Each structure stands twice: as structure tokens, then as C-alpha cells.
């Protein structure tokens, strides 16, 4: 079972990642935000591609689901961290982190 502290530790170990407030959440970013963590540390929103979102939601439907708005249609995916192993969390973070690198074009 993963926690908000696990997310923070793993995210900050990824090259170039910084943590900053983002509305009522904490954001982890390189050139752009790739994951946000809720204040209670129980849920997170990942920036996946729509295909990655569909895959994650299919493979771990109890853990991943599209954010229910236009952001969700663009790939932003909500997760209940308690439903992830640390390995699943690290894989999700690395996937989202790869999209946040400098020089990567912003996805629309």
C-alpha cells in the first residue's frame, strides 16, 4: 500500500523534480507538472496520455480513473494511493515524469 510520503520520496528522487504548492494540492514538476498530491496525502492526479490513462484504468481499475472533467479527457488520472503497491506507484510516476521533461512539446 503506497502513501503520500512514498509519492513524495519517489517523485523527488526523479531527476529535476521540484515540489511546489498548486491550489489545494502539492505539485511535482520538471518543466511542467506531472503529478499532484492531495493535502491529505491519500490521492494523487497523474498526467498520462489518454492511451496510458486507459491502460492504467484497465489494469488497475480500483486504483486509477480519469479525472471527471476536461482535464480527464486530456489524460489526467486520479488514483487512490492505498490501492497501489510502491512498485505500481513508481512505475506511474516514471511514466508521468517522462512527459514533463524540458524540450518535450506540451500535449493538447
Average pLDDT, the chain: 95
Q: Is residue 103 part of a domain?
A: no
Q: Is residue 106 part of a domain?
A: no
Full residue range of the structural domain in which residue 8 is found: 4-98
Count of structural domains, the chain? 1
Q: Is residue 68 part of a domain?
A: yes
Rounded distance between C-alpha atoms, residue 32 and residue 45, angstroms: 14
Q: Is residue 107 part of a domain?
A: no
Rounded distance between C-alpha atoms, residue 85 and residue 74, angstroms: 25
For residue 42, give the H/E element and its range. Answer: none
Q: Is residue 108 part of a domain?
A: no
pLDDT confidence tier of residue 95, bands split at 50, 70 and 90: very high
pLDDT confidence tier of residue 104, bands split at 50, 70 and 90: low
Q: Is the pLDDT of residue 100 over 70?
A: yes
pLDDT of residue 108: 54
Q: Is residue 105 part of a domain?
A: no
CATH at 82: 3.90.1150.30
Amino acid at each position: 500500500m503506497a502513501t503520500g510520503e512514498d509519492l513524495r520520496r519517489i517523485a523527488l528522487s526523479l531527476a529535476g523534480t521540484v515540489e511546489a504548492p498548486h491550489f489545494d494540492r502539492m505539485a511535482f514538476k520538471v518543466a511542467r507538472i506531472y503529478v499532484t498530491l492531495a493535502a491529505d496525502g491519500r490521492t494523487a492526479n497523474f498526467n498520462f496520455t489518454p492511451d496510458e490513462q486507459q491502460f492504467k484504468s484497465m489494469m488497475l481499475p480500483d486504483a486509477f480513473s480519469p479525472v471527471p472533467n476536461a482535464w480527464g479527457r486530456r489524460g489526467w488520472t486520479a488514483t487512490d494511493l492505498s490501492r497501489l503497491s510502491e512498485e505500481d506507484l513508481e512505475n506511474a510516476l516514471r511514466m508521468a515524469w517522462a512527459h514533463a521533461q524540458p524540450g518535450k512539446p506540451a500535449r493538447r
